[in-house]
Amino acid sequence: MQNTIIRKNEYFDSVTLMSLSSKILGVEGVEEAVVSMATDMNKELLRNVGLSTKESDNAENNDLLIAIKAIDEKSYNEALKSIEELLKPKNKKKAKGEVEDPKTISEALEQMEDANIALISVPGQYAAREARKALENGLHVMIFSDNVTLEQERELKEMGRDKGLLVMGPDCGTASINNIGLCFANEVRKGNIGIVGASGTGLQEVMVQIHNLGGGVSQGIGTGGRDLKEEIGGIMMIEGLKALSNDDNTEIIVLVSKPPAKTVEEKILKEVKAIKKPVIICFLDGIKDDKKDSDVKFVYNLFDAAKEAVNLVGIKTGKEKSHEALKLKIREAKENLKAEQKYVRGLYCGGTLCAEALSVLRENIPSIKSNVAKVEEEKLEDIKEYSGNILLDLGEDQFTVGRPHPMIEPTLRLEHILKQAKDETVGVILLDFELGFGSHEDPVGVTLDTIKESKEIAKSNGRDLAFVAYICGTDIDKQNYNNQKMMLEDAGIIIGESNLEAANIVAEILS
């Protein structure tokens, strides 16, 4: 049976609802479940799965849609009951005398007068307004939301600059302020390396690698991916650099970004030169250019950024240890591949990690394509039908409509893994696992069965399938790093110590 219920004027945030939809889809006998706010996009989604009704078409932005399709009434009722259960806390009436949760920033400030930062993850079209209100009240802001216009971003950042306030984002997934991880961030050692980054997982990877190499981090400022676009002009990158330059606890500064627009690059370099502390610039996937100023150290991947920074602190990282064991595994994997198993399929949750892998693998692997590629010939047009060497960023909108980001809910990736396992031209599957705050509690655990199943599928077809993985996490992250690693090793998966290394391992196996 199928049914669509509309609950008027009941608002829930999309992350809550998407996680809930995933849970309900797991209820036995449920074929389709959509629990979402009745936005135009979600109503469209409902139509696409055949669960729309006249009432749902007429529902408004603030109405809650609950649509369930189940094999029978029992499953339907079960699903509906679970939904009601999961949505309950919101309806709970406050006992007399208890303070109600504030609804607006001004109400919140009455309860927390000394608030100094606002974390904004509301739907994009409303995010700028909340950010503006926060800035007006003297709060720093981190905007996790995307779909904020460039004009709004510029206005907010100019406002922040004029008031001496951080505007991290929009679309800023990672920051670490005073060693507190905001949104998606790893727990790392406190130290003297300050980072300002225009990419989420990029910032995470640099912090993780600094920690793993023995260094520590003072601040990790996120700017959002568009800060270095011409329209924004690197406003927050520059403000961040200035703040790190004036920060007594920061001795070395790392800047992480995709290569910016030329005019913005000049502005940034001018700023960097005025700083007395050493600055390492990581233009990820940038063009190596020897003419660039020698005062500034340029690197082009995340691991090198961390390594250079740690070296400057005075920690010797030396040459990478050559692990015989790893070499052996690579050789073994290489030998087990059949002649037709020529290709790699990278299935990434972290967008910047995917981009970095692309920059590494294109040197060694012919005609690799990706949905994050910027170069025309590398762009993957069809994300369903493809062949050859492919790197997919599963966190892109194409994959996440109506579903949580795979860093929150890595089960999104499972079907893609199985799909690759059935493709007899695939030799290596490359996966990333993000640990830290914001990420899933057990990303390896929820993926392991599928990896095993994939290996079975390959085996039953007389093939061997190589898995290479990278865990972006530290030994002090809330998910037990060693457990995660052990599960992968036990399943015979080759692990890179950095995203860079994982990509290099793939290159070697397929060479």
Q: Which residues bind other proteins (CB under 8 A)?
A: 9, 11, 13-16, 37, 39, 60-62, 90, 93, 96, 100-105, 108-109, 111-112, 114-123, 125-126, 129-130, 134, 138-140, 144-145, 163-166, 177-178, 180-183, 219, 239-240, 242-243, 246-247, 249, 408, 437-438, 478
- Report the first-to-last Cα separation within the chain, whole angstroms: 53
Provide, rounded to whole angstroms, the least separation between the CB of residue 72 and other proteins: 33
Q: Which residues pair with 434 in a beta bridge?
A: 472
Q: Which is nearer to other proteins, 57 or 489 (CB)?
A: 57
Provide, rounded to whole angstroms, the least separation between the CB of residue 79 and other proteins: 22
Q: Are 300 and 315 in contact (CB under 8 A)?
A: no
Provide, rounded to whole angstroms, the least separation between the CB of residue 31 and other proteins: 27
Q: Which is nearer to other proteins, 63 or 78 (CB)?
A: 63
CA 488, distance to chain mean position in Å, is 21
Q: Quickly tell me which residue has 């460039």 as its tokens.
A: 150
Q: Which is nearer to other proteins, 160 or 225 (CB)?
A: 160
For CA atoms 391, 281, 210, 510, the dihedral sign is: positive
Nearest-angstrom CA–CA distance, 385 and 383: 6
Provide, rounded to whole angstroms, the least separation between the CB of residue 237 and other proteins: 13
3-state secondary structure of 468: strand
Provide, rounded to whole angstroms, the least separation between the CB of residue 80 and other proteins: 23
Q: Are 384 and 337 in contact (CB under 8 A)?
A: no
Q: Which is nearer to other proteins, 16 or 359 (CB)?
A: 16
Q: Which is nearer to other proteins, 162 or 377 (CB)?
A: 162
Q: Are 142 and 120 in contact (CB under 8 A)?
A: yes
Q: Are 337 and 509 in contact (CB under 8 A)?
A: yes
Nearest-angstrom CA–CA distance, 16 and 86: 9
Peptide linkage before 102 cis (omega within 30 of 0): no
Q: Which is nearer to other proteins, 127 or 347 (CB)?
A: 127
Q: Tell the burial category of 408 from Cβ atoms under 10 Å away from its Cβ (0-12, 13-18, 19+).
A: buried
Provide, rounded to whole angstroms, the least separation between the CB of residue 295 and other proteins: 24
28-60 in b/e form (b: 16+ CB < 10 A) is eebebbbbbbbbeebbebbeeeebbbeebeebe
Provide, rounded to whole angstroms, the least separation between the CB of residue 187 and other proteins: 8
The tokens of 70 are what? Answer: 């189940």
The radius of gyration computed from the CA coordinates of the chain, to the nearest angstrom, equals 24
Provide, rounded to whole angstroms, the least separation between the CB of residue 397 and other proteins: 18
Q: Which is nearer to other proteins, 99 or 325 (CB)?
A: 99
Q: Which is nearer to other proteins, 20 or 390 (CB)?
A: 20
Q: Which is nearer to other proteins, 54 or 94 (CB)?
A: 94
Provide, rounded to whole angstroms, the least separation between the CB of residue 468 and other proteins: 29
Q: Which of 227, 218, 284, 228 is nearest to 252 (CA)?
A: 218
Question: What letter does residue 185 receive in the DSSP assignment?
Answer: B
For CA atoms 44, 45, 49, 54, the dihedral sign is: negative
Nearest-angstrom CA–CA distance, 245 and 251: 8
Q: Which is nearer to other proteins, 198 or 429 (CB)?
A: 198
Q: Tell the burial category of 23 from Cβ atoms under 10 Å away from its Cβ (0-12, 13-18, 19+).
A: middle
Provide, rounded to whole angstroms, the least separation between the CB of residue 160 and other proteins: 9
Nearest-angstrom CA–CA distance, 479 and 498: 18
Q: Which is nearer to other proteins, 3 or 22 (CB)?
A: 22
Provide, rounded to whole angstroms, the least separation between the CB of residue 164 and other proteins: 3
